[in-house]
Structure 1
Amino acid sequence: MTLVTAAFLATAFATHALVGAALGAILFDRPGVGAVAGLVADVDFLFPAALGWPFVHRGITHSLPALLALAAVAVGVWYAVDACGSHRAAGAAVAVAYCSHLLIDVTTPKGIPPLSPLSDRIVGVALPTTGHSPVPTLLLWVGSLWVLSRTDALDSVARRVPSSRIGE
């Protein structure tokens, strides 16, 4: 893997995590759950290459069947667990953040295969700039960080980072 490819992937992963965190924070007060769920679709990077289609990047994990399976889990969590609602919010944050990942990826030239494994047809959306291009990525980062700054999500992260006491 080249340095350019590694930087691109790191930026893409960070973008999915930031957007998921922002959605999880603003909609459900669950930024951490949203950040992790925003990355879940890219678990396909861990599949062995020998498996082939649909177990490749932007294969089954970027499809409608995977989304429906995740939605079923989220609905199950919503109705079956924790009457006070904290798990319900987490389940909803997972579903929304996962959807945000797919929406970002559908705007790229490669697109996503919405009916995998029934079909290997990739659907891309032709836009002048796409989901992982510099301008949209910057806008997603700025928007997500703005949303996070309007919640207490960044405050809780700041409390966990040890402060340095220079000069003492």
Structure 2
Amino acid sequence: MAGVGVAAVSATALAVPAATTATLLAAAWIGSLLPDADRAGSRVYRRTRVERRVPLARLAGWLLRLPLRPLVLLRHRGITHSLVACAAVALATWALVGLADADLGVAAGAGMAIGYGAHVLADACTPAGVPLWAPLSSKPTWMLPAWARIKTGSAREFVVATALTGALVSATFLL
């Protein structure tokens, strides 16, 4: 939610064309799911409604997820929750999409960095923290002091997410 919201505010503030905005938002959405690819039941592995109804989309989704499957062998909130992983995924996205269209490659890379980074920073606000500097260090990093950390799935997380969503929607319409 945070990554897509920040991407939407950014696109609105920069007044980018519709195709660029769509690419930025789609990449931010996918990027926000990728850090949890190290967990077998995570949202990134679930079929979308379109995939459930359209056999060709089901096949495409399966093929696109195939390279992610080995990540489930990694420890959850390990290297996939680091700045190195965020940079690597953003650069790979920029390069791959840039082969088809250079301008959209930049938007896709930026969106991926925004979505992935927002997920990692949000997880750094939880009691577990994240190994932000992995593989250089596996020591957890937190963005909040111990008393303010938000447990995943708690009512407090819902309140913070609702407030953040409201702020991002307001900012998008005010720009």
- Give TM class, smaller chain: 0.5 to 0.7
Counterpart for residue 165 of structure 1: none
What whole-Å deviation, never above 9, does each CA across 1:117-165 have from its counterpart, x for those lacking one?
A: 343322234242324453354233333255347659xxxxxxxxxxxxx
**Of 9, 12, 17, which residue of structure 2 is paired with 1:26?**
9
Q: Does 1:87 align with 2:105?
A: yes
TM-score, normalised relative to structure 1 = 0.61
Whichever residue aligns with residue 105 of structure 2, its letter is H
CA distance in 2, matches of 1:80, 1:147: 32
The structure that is helix-richer by fraction is 2
- 8 Å CA contact retained: 1:78, 1:92: no
Change (3 A) 1:150 1:121: closer
Q: How many residues align?
A: 131
CA distance in 2, matches of 1:130, 1:50: 26
Q: Does 1:144 align with 2:138?
A: no
Using the TM superposition, give the Cα deviation of residue 41 of structure 1 relative to its aligned residue in structure 2, in angstroms.
0.3
Percent identical across equivalent pairs? Answer: 30
**Of 36, 39, 42, which residue of structure 2 is paired with 1:45?**
39
**Of 85, 100, 121, which residue of structure 1 is paired with 2:118?**
100
TM-score, normalised relative to structure 2 = 0.59
Q: Radius of gyration: which is bigger? A: 1
CA distance in 2, matches of 1:91, 1:115: 21
Using the TM superposition, give the Cα deviation of residue 79 of structure 1 relative to its aligned residue in structure 2, in angstroms.
6.0
Counterpart for residue 70 of structure 1: 89
Counterpart for residue 135 of structure 1: 156
Q: Which runs of 5+ in 2 are unaligned?
A: 12-20, 41-68
Change (3 A) 1:61 1:112: same
Ranked by relative contact order (alpha carbons within 8 Å, sequence separation 6 or more), the top structure is 2
CA distance in 2, matches of 1:79, 1:151: 27
CA distance in 2, matches of 1:22, 1:42: 19
CA RMSD of the aligned region, Å? 3.2
CA distance in 1, matches of 2:109, 2:123: 22
Counterpart for residue 78 of structure 2: 59
- 8 Å CA contact retained: 1:106, 1:112: yes
Whichever residue aligns with residue 97 of structure 1, its letter is G
What whole-Å deviation, never above 9, does each CA across 1:13-36 have from its counterpart, x for those lacking one?
A: xxxxx1122122221333333222
